[in-house]
Amino acid sequence: MKVDEKRDFLRKNYLGEWLKTRQMVEDKISNNICVCGKLATGFHERCCRKFHKKVDAETIKLMEHLLLNPKGVSNE
């Protein structure tokens, strides 16, 4: 599965867990300097694609166990 497919699957099937985990990751990653290297204001983090890609990737990594099919084999 591609990152976009994983994100869409988790958002569709596990929305509550997705939102909670994503907020936790956002808080963890959020810093004075954004992952793109610019000053991380609240407005900047809401608009920065690199920041959102990083948050999505970390959230997917934490929720990877929910992407397993019933046989226990990864959908990758």
55 near 25, Cβ under 8 Å? yes
Q: What is the overall mean pLDDT for the chain?
A: 88
Domains of the chain: which residue ranges?
A: 3-66
Distance in angstroms (rounded) separating the CA atoms of residues 8 and 60: 10
Which pair of tokens denotes residue 50? 């690199």
pLDDT digits (tens, 9 = 90+) for 23-58: 999 999 988 899 999 998 889 989 999 999 999 999
User: What value does the mean pLDDT take over residues 4-22?
Assistant: 94
Which pTM value belongs to this model?
Answer: 0.81
Between 71 and 65, where is the model more confident? 65
